[in-house]
Amino acid sequence: MAPVSFNEVGKVYRDDTRAVSDFTLDVADGEFMVFVGPSGCGKTTALRMVAGLEEITEGEIRIGDRVVNDLHPRKRDVAMVFQNYALYPHMTVYKNIAFALKIRKMPSDEIRRRVEEAARILGLTAELKRKPAQLSGGQRQRVAMGRAIVRHPQAFLMDEPLSNLDAKLRVQMRAEIARIQHELGATTIYVTHDQVEAMTMGDRVAVLRKGELQQVDPPQVVYERPANLFVASFIGSPEMNLVEAQLERGDGGLVCRIGDQSIAVPDELAAQRPGLERYVGRTVGLGFRPEHLEDAALGGETPHSGRLRGQVVTTELLGSELLTYVEVDAAPVATAEVLEVREDVDRSRVAALESEARAHRTVMIGRFDVASTARAGSAIEIVLDTRKLYFFDLDSEAAIGYGDRTPQAAKPAETARLLP
Amino acid sequence: MRVLGRVVSYFVLVLIGVLGLAPFVYLLVLSFKSQLELLDVPPSLHFDWATIKENYSTVIHDQQYPTFVKNSIIVTGVSTLVALALGVPAAYAFSRLRFRGSDTWGSTILSFRFMPPIAVAIPIFLMIQQLDLVNSYFGLVLPYIAFTLPLVIWIMIGFFDEIPREIDEAALVDGLTRPQVLFRVLLPLVRPGILVAATFGIIFIWNEFLVGLFIISSTDRETIPIAASSLLTVESPIQYNLAAVVGVLTVIPVLFFAILVQRYIVRGITAGAVR
């Protein structure tokens, strides 16, 4: 196993389209690093450059202490798991897994030992004599994993390995891959567009947008302290509510004016966000997560609660919670980054957000307790936990007030949950 | 109603089958007759074993038929093998690699195949003459490779295109070089394609007549189609029954071959580029 480091790596295709720019990142030895972002953000390109399947046009990539820019893929000693598994259809499971070892002319009893070991870890022992066509999607995925495991490579590279599986299997394999990775202590770069995978699997998450690194941090940090509007709206499901607010100084401290309503910013939060002072009298992007909203009728009000009135648009009862869409009289945040995240989900959501912006109405999503009686069309009052507010500069789209900590300043040594 | 539909469709299919088979049956019948019987009106279906034996042994023994077969097999075999050996890797390159003009060349290559042989027969003859290869196997093999190669490349590009690139990439990461990827991983996967390409090539070369006629000048180098035609033109009076024997003997090897590989051809045609 070895660390993988990107140093000002860039990728420009022959037709002059730029896929990755100025990408600098260190993946520690044994770390599970997730690259996440919407389609076309350059995450797969970055991964393929490590594998040697894509030429590195700028900067350098190191695996261990070797610069691999000009090395043929077979000399990089990395293993890759592909989205469509890329199993060799004419070979049995055993041969698929053993293939790379056979090429390296490993003695056959050692090959047998390793393949059987991998099959045991992956629960494929009964399948060894079958061909890929006879396997289910989940089993194929495991074979692809097995092919990587037996290599004992410097690093595992995984390119959306779960996206072809159905939802239930995906959840199961998610846990399984994470478990195997921990067992092997293997340096892993995992590419996904699914932010749930990013949150649940990675030691650290690297969020990419248009080929540029937005933030590299452990999942919880990315969730709690998103570096900018892009990360804030991309990470989290349902996504963060973002509304335009006027920041003012009230009697007791800072106050956010949301349309004709207002919310007090707790002093302790203001103290944690020294940068906020400069925004007094200006419009900022105000964000809060769905889980920090609750139906006011259920009580649960604390000294830190703010209140907002709105109109229920629709509700979704999920059994454990009631997702409630509440329309509030204020303009939504509709900057380029937010629109881009929406577009990645669905084009129609861009139009929806734009029309909301024109009408100065914001639809917020709250995860209410199922006891809530909120029904579509009725007026509602919601309480929100003001200690969990996020503030964004609407011009630079950056988060306001984590001191001078820039997103990329996070060094692996500070933040990586290092493995045993 | 449904029964009637079936009856009609079977009737049509049988009719088509009979129409398709009729010439072969006629050829077979002709080859069983003596020179005199050919002129019988109405034609009889009376066969005489002695006549059949005489016809076939005349062609096989007196007319150097084994030589023609040998020539055909050598020329067809060598041309097809070389065309495959060159065409399969070329198709792989066209399918996978981006190089200067790769798109243009990919489509240009097929257009070579559109050229009618008669348009190039004389230039080819002159070139072969310049190379001093007239009336040699090599003189036939070279143009046949040139004719077959575009077809092989084009068919194989289709088959390679159907294999996901990730298979190549997985093999590269697993430790193979590009050529090893082709030979160790992809060749087994495109085997149906190779069979299709080989079949098209073999049938074309086996039947090729025009270019052969220009290049071959002595009987002992003639391939079967050329030999069959000289039998009709050189001999006088024309012995239709013997010509028919040559026809039968020409068709039989290709027929057997086609039956042998038809499973692959059908699969190949439905799976590959030849649609």
pLDDT at B58: 82
The pair phi, psi for residue A384, each rounded to 5°, is -135, 150
Closest Cβ opposite residue B173 in set A79, A83, A85? A79
Helix (H) and strand (E) counts for chain A?
Answer: 12, 20
Rounded to the nearest angstrom, the minimum Cα separation between A121 and chain B is 20
The pair phi, psi for residue A151, each rounded to 5°, is -70, -25
Do the Cβ atoms of A129 and A94 come closer than 8 Å?
yes
**A52/B contact by beta carbon, under 8 A:** yes
Rounded to the nearest angstrom, the minimum Cα separation between B150 and chain A is 28
On whether ipTM exceeds 0.85, the answer is: no
Chain B CB contacts of A87 below 8 Å: 170
Do the Cβ atoms of A256 and A263 come closer than 8 Å?
yes
- What does pLDDT average to over chain B? 86
Residue B271 has pLDDT above 60, yes or no: no
pLDDT at B275: 36
pLDDT at A411: 40
pLDDT at B269: 65
Mutation target vs B (from A15, A78, A88, A103; most B CBs, 10 A cutoff): A88
Instruction: For residue B37, name the pLDDT band (cuts at 50, 70, 90).
Output: confident
Residue B156 has pLDDT above 80, yes or no: yes
Rounded to the nearest angstrom, the minimum Cα separation between B171 and chain A is 8
Inspect the interface and report whether the beta carbons of B175 and A82 lie closer than 8 Å: no
Q: Cα–Cα distances in Å, from A365 out to A115, A344, B261?
A: 49, 19, 64
**A103/B contact by beta carbon, under 8 A:** yes
pTM over 0.95: no
Q: What is the arithmetic mean of pLDDT over B137-141?
A: 93
Per-residue model confidence as pLDDT tens digits over B76-120: 999 999 999 999 999 999 999 888 888 788 778 878 777 787 888
pLDDT at B62: 74
What CA–CA distance (Å, rounded) separates A235 from A390? 14
Q: Note down pLDDT in tens along chain A; length 420 residues.
A: 899 999 999 999 988 899 999 999 999 999 999 999 998 899 999 999 999 999 999 999 999 999 999 999 999 999 999 999 999 999 999 999 999 999 999 999 999 999 999 999 888 999 999 999 999 988 999 999 999 999 999 999 999 999 888 888 888 889 888 888 988 888 999 999 988 899 999 999 999 999 999 999 999 999 999 999 999 999 988 899 999 999 999 877 899 999 899 999 998 888 888 888 889 999 999 999 999 999 998 877 787 888 999 999 999 999 999 999 999 999 999 988 888 888 888 888 888 888 888 888 999 999 999 999 889 999 999 999 999 999 999 999 999 976 544 444 444 433 443 333
Rounded to the nearest angstrom, the minimum Cα separation between B166 and chain A is 5
Closest Cβ opposite residue B174 in set A83, A84, A100? A100
Contacts from A319-322 at CB under 8 Å and sequence distance 24+? A319/A370, A320/A370, A321/A367, A321/A368, A321/A369, A321/A370, A322/A367, A322/A368, A322/A369, A322/A370, A322/A372, A322/A374
Q: Please give the residue of chain A at the shortest CA–CA distance from B166.
A: A86
Pairs of CB atoms within 8 A across A/B? 60
Q: What is the CA radius of gyration of chain B?
A: 23
DSSP category for residue A331: P
**A100/B contact by beta carbon, under 8 A:** yes
DSSP-derived pairing of the beta strands A305-317 and A204-209 = unpaired
DSSP category for residue B272: S
Amino acid at residue number B25 = V
pLDDT at A409: 40
pLDDT at A326: 95
What CA–CA distance (Å, rounded) separates A384 from A295? 9
Q: Please give the residue of chain A at the shortest CA–CA distance from B174.
A: A100
Q: Going by C-beta distance under 8 Å and a sequence separation of 6 or more, which residues neighbour residue A307?
A: A261, A263, A296, A381, A382, A383, A384
DSSP output for B158-221: HHHHTS-HHHHHHHHHHT--HHHIIIIIIHHHTHHHHHHHHHHHHHHHHH--HHHHHH--SGGG
Inspect the interface and report whether the beta carbons of B189 and A53 lie closer than 8 Å: no
Rounded to the nearest angstrom, the minimum Cα separation between B181 and chain A is 11
**A84/B contact by beta carbon, under 8 A:** yes
pLDDT at B30: 86
Q: Please give the residue of chain B at the shortest CA–CA distance from A14.
A: B98
Instruction: For residue B272, name the pLDDT band (cuts at 50, 70, 90).
Output: very low
Q: Work out the end-to-end distance of chain A between its first and last CA atoms, rounded to an integer number of angstroms.
A: 13
**A115/B contact by beta carbon, under 8 A:** no
Chain B CB contacts of A99 below 8 Å: 171, 174
What CA–CA distance (Å, rounded) separates A148 from A78? 8
Q: Going by C-beta distance under 8 Å and a sequence separation of 6 or more, which residues neighbour residue B274?
A: B155, B158, B196, B200, B268
* b/e burial code for range A297-332 (CB count within 10 A of at least 16 → b): eeeeeeebbbebebbbeebeeeeebbebbbbbbbbb
Mutation target vs B (from A49, A81, A90; most B CBs, 10 A cutoff): A90
Chain B CB contacts of A14 below 8 Å: 98
